[in-house]
């Protein structure tokens, strides 16, 4: 009896101790009670940081950039021909956008068919989208019917890309005849400073040339958006020109604010025009603008334009490729024959004649 009692007691003790161990073991095995305080403790120092963070990184509300051109101050129009290019057009647009600068792009209709995106971006940024014909032919050698057909075909490429058909046209090679100058319903315009970027294909040469010109006020600078060397030169030249006090304007802005007239249909703005006109005393406002230089409010949002452009893209995506001027790698390259250089250069480079192109 005594032994039984002892045994029972021992058994009882054993059971309760096991339970005891079991109970004690349970919290050790269960993570939450043990690790939770550690977790909280660990999280606590971080907590103030995370709660501060939203205030610290909250971006300052950015003032919307308002572009105002002072017609009385120096201005220059950068122009880019022969695009759009699938890479370099956007590279140039990046620089313009960063610097709140505008330029004019004389685009080849068939290239617009192939790469409509950069053209839409140009329009959204406020750059001037102009025509450089459909197939980069010498327009002075076309019969009137073929000439108008070429220009109309280019216009369709622009409207299919979601931008307005340009009224401003730069004839390829600067080649014009009487019909091209005055019977297309468009405004034909050349340039006044030729960087010959197509010839050097060298960034430093392009930059040095532009920097060497004493006075660029009122000039229309010719470049091409299809070369990396030009895109690189633009990275240097855009901020440099602005540092020199030049406002970077579109061709139509330059005509209105500097020369005092809006581009007229059936009119030619070439060497004779630029060599006989200078800065006006009476800048004119752009259509829709009350005061010259104050800008026109866009009627549609970029979203609207992008949406419309998207709808048109299905038709626009077929790039024509039968043109003999297309080179082996399928990339459109302008075929340059002769180009009348109007070179109204303030540094006295002979304004004349013909640069022979490869
Ligand atoms: Ni060209």
Question: Domain range for residue 222?
Answer: 89-340
C-alpha–C-alpha distance, residues 159 and 105, integer Å? 15
Residue 65, in any domain of the structure: no
- Cβ count near 357 (within 10 Å): 14
pLDDT at 40: 41
- Whether 272 is covered by a domain: the verdict is yes
Distance 284 CA to ligand 1 centre (A): 29
Q: Tell me whether residue 351 is in a domain.
A: no
> What residues contact residue 168 under an 8 Å CB cut-off, 6+ apart?
104, 106, 128, 130, 131, 186, 187, 189, 251, 252, 263
Domain count, the chain: 1
- pLDDT for 58: 75
Q: What is the CATH number of the domain that holds 108?
A: 3.20.20.370
Is residue 84 reached through a cis peptide bond, with omega within 30 degrees of 0 on the bond before it?
yes
From the CA atom positions of the chain, what is the Rg in Å?
Answer: 34
Q: How far apart are CA 199 and CA 105, in angstroms?
A: 19
| Residue 24: both structure tokens together | 């004690």
Q: What is the pLDDT of residues 78-91, one digit of tens each?
A: 999 999 999 999 99
For 109-155, what is each residue's pLDDT tens digit?
Answer: 999 999 999 999 999 999 999 999 999 999 999 999 999 999 999 99
138 Cα to the center of ligand 1, angstroms:
10
Report the alpha-carbon distance of residue 213 to residue 339 in Å, rounded: 22
**Residue 277 alpha carbon to ligand 1 centre in Å:** 25
Query: What is the structure's pLDDT at 328?
Result: 35
52 within some domain:
no
Q: Which residues are tagged catalytic? A: 81, 224
Determine, yes or no, domain membership for 298.
yes
111 vs 39, more confident = 111
**∠331-337-339 over CA atoms, to 5°?**
110
Residue 331 lies in a domain: yes
Specify the DSSP class assigned to residue 258: I
Å from CA of 195 to ligand 1 middle: 13
pTM as predicted = 0.69
CA–centroid distance, 223 to ligand 1, in Å, is 9
CA of 332 from ligand 1 middle (Å) equals 11
């Amino acid at each position: 009896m005594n032994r039984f009692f002892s045994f029972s007691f021992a058994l009882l003790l054993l059971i309760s101790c096991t339970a005891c161990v079991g109970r004690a073991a349970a919290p050790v095995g269960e993570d939450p009670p043990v690790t939770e305080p550690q977790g909280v403790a660990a999280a606590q120092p971080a907590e103030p940081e995370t709660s501060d963070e939203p205030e610290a990184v909250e971006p300052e509300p950015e003032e919307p950039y308002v572009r105002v051109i002072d017609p009385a101050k120096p201005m220059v129009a950068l122009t880019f021909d022969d695009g759009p290019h699938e890479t370099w057009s956007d590279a140039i647009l990046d620089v313009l956008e960063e610097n709140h600068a505008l330029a004019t792009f004389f685009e080849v209709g068939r290239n617009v068919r192939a790469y409509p995106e950069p053209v839409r971006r140009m329009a959204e940024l406020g750059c001037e989208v102009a025509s450089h014909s459909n197939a980069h032919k010498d327009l002075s050698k076309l019969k009137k019917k073929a000439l108008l057909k070429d220009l109309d075909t280019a216009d369709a490429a622009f409207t299919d890309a979601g931008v307005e058909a340009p009224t401003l046209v730069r004839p390829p090679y600067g080649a014009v005849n009487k019909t091209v100058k005055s019977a297309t319903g468009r405004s034909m315009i050349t340039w006044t400073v030729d960087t010959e970027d197509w010839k050097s294909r060298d960034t430093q040469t392009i930059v040095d040339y532009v920097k060497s010109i004493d006075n660029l006020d009122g000039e229309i600078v010719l470049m091409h958006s299809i070369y990396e060397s030009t895109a690189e030169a633009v990275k240097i030249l855009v901020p440099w020109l602005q540092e020199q006090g030049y406002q970077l304007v579109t061709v139509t802005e330059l005509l209105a604010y500097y020369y005092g007239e809006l581009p007229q249909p059936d009119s030619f703005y070439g060497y004779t025009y630029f060599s006989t006109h200078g800065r006006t005393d009476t800048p004119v406002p752009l259509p829709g603008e009350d005061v010259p230089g104050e800008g026109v409010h866009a009627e549609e949002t970029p979203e609207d334009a992008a949406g419309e452009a998207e709808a048109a893209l299905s038709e626009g995506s077929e790039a024509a490729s039968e043109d003999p001027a297309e080179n082996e790698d399928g990339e459109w390259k302008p075929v340059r024959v002769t180009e009348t250089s109007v070179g109204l250069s303030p540094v006295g480079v002979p304004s004349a004649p013909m640069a022979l192109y490869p």
